[in-house]
């Protein structure tokens, strides 16, 4: 009977519970706006692990940049006469004079003399923002200035440069991925529940859990607020693939909970034609199942914290936080309050759209509430 009382209380005071639910997401959403993608290296692993120990010893003996050297290549218009070729020497000097470069290795020529490689050691660690700035500086200033119109084609590679390019590409693509997933999810919800408003609202509310997960990751890892409890040495950058994969997993789980709740609400509405009672009945029937399933998932995700890898910890913290908030605050407060406030508009569907949409029901056939002869008794206020 607990969820029956909760459902009635939420339906009786929708505005109060709606504002209370939104308050849970204010701070995480603000933190999420500061999320930036970075590069992880072995220096971000937990202190005492084998990888971290080797990283620290190398950095202490040879400088932090030795753990992530850059590879500069140059394709020549004409074969070089040897490593001492004037064109190669000019590029080598330009690399040495670039700020943020600790050392430049000797030029290495290919067998045909047309391709040359230098190993460039930065003064900063692979995941340090200074290394990313050095990559940009080499690409935008140093190499174009020294190669000019000679026909040479110079490029900057190496693990730090590859990770930087990957993060930039993911940052560019993430909004498109989110938009495509929202559009597809909204279309499927429209087909299943034949309500444009319910489809749009569900897709938007699902983003709140994702924003909360991003905000928690930003605070605990990027800002370093959770470094000590999580066994990390300090702030840890967040790779671009973490938010992308987390969005896919979280949106799938959120849609699962949403469809389960809306199916119960719509079934009750088709039986009674009373929107408020349908919301109360649907939440009362599904609340315990949704929260129990979410509790299992939260326990599983928190188990990720036992790993030493910071990326695994990110997934554990982010997924556990989002699932907990989604199953309780979003499904228990935001979805029912908005549906109560919107009233029968939840189930409005233009006639022209009704004719276009195919009949696709989540659970068997449906009955028109107006034509239903036997109406089950809905959950009512005490």
Mean pLDDT of the chain: 89
Can you give the pLDDT at residue 86?
A: 87
Average pLDDT on 196-210 reads 90
Give the containing element (helix H, strand E) for 120: strand 115-122
Number of H helices, E strands in the chain: 13, 5
Domains of the chain: residue spans and CATH: 2-39+173-356 (1.20.1640.10), 69-157 (3.30.70.260)
Query: Of 370 and 298, which is predicted with more confidence?
Result: 298
Q: What is the mean pLDDT of residues 4-16?
A: 93
Buried/exposed 104-138: b ≥16 CB within 10 Å, e otherwise: beebebeeeeebbebebbbbbbbbbeebbebbebb
* Confidence check: pLDDT of 378 > 50: no
Q: Is the dihedral of CA 312, 317, 318, 319 positive or negative?
A: positive
The per-residue pLDDT for range 128-145, each reduced to its tens digit, is 999 999 999 999 999 999
Residue 364 confidence class, pLDDT cut points 50, 70, 90? low
pLDDT for 167: 93
Predicted confidence (pLDDT) per residue in 59-77, tens digit = 999 999 999 999 999 998 8
Whether the per-residue pLDDT at 349 is higher than 90: the answer is no
Q: Across residues 191-210, what is the average pLDDT?
A: 89
Q: For position 361, what pLDDT does the model report?
A: 61
What would the mean pLDDT of 280-301 be, rounded to a whole number?
A: 95
The pLDDT value recorded for residue 363 is 57
């Amino acid at each position: 009977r607990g969820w029956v009382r909760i459902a009635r209380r939420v339906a009786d005071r929708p505005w109060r519970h709606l504002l209370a639910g939104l308050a849970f997401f204010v701070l995480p959403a603000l933190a999420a706006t500061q999320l930036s993608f970075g590069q992880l290296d072995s220096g971000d692993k937990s202190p005492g692990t084998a990888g971290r120990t080797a990283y620290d010893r190398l950095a202490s003996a040879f400088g932090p940049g030795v753990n992530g050297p850059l590879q500069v290549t140059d394709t020549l218009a004409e074969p070089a006469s040897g490593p001492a070729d004037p064109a190669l020497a000019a590029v080598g000097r330009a690399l040495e004079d670039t700020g943020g470069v600790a050392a430049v290795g000797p030029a290495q020529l290919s067998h045909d003399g047309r391709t040359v490689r230098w190993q460039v050691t930065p003064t900063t660690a692979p995941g340090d923002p200074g290394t990313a700035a050095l990559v940009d500086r080499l690409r935008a200033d140093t190499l174009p200035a020294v190669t000019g119109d000679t026909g040479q084609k110079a490029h900057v590679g190496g693990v730090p440069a590859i990770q930087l390019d990957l993060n930039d590409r993911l940052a560019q693509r993430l909004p498109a991925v989110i938009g495509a997933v929202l559009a597809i999810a909204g279309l499927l919800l429209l087909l299943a529940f034949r309500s444009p408003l319910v489809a749009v609202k569900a897709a938007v509310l699902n983003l709140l859990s994702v924003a909360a997960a991003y905000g928690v990751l930003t605070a605990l890892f990027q800002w370093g607020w959770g470094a000590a409890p999580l066994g990390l040495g300090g702030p840890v950058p967040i790779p671009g693939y973490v938010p992308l994969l987390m969005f896919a997993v979280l949106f799938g789980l959120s849609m699962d909970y949403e469809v389960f709740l809306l199916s119960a609400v719509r079934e009750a509405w088709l039986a009674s034609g009373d929107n408020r009672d349908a919301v109360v009945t649907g939440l009362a029937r599904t609340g315990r199942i949704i929260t129990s399933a979410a509790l299992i998932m939260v326990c599983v995700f928190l188990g990720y914290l036992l790993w030493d890898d910071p990326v695994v910890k990110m997934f554990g913290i982010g997924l556990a936080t989002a699932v907990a908030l989604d199953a309780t605050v979003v499904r228990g407060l935001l979805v029912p309050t908005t549906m109560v406030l919107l009233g029968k508009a939840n189930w409005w569907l233009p006639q022209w759209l009704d004719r276009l949409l195919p009949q696709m029901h989540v659970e068997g056939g449906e009955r028109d509430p107006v034509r239903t002869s036997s109406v089950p008794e809905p959950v009512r206020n005490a």
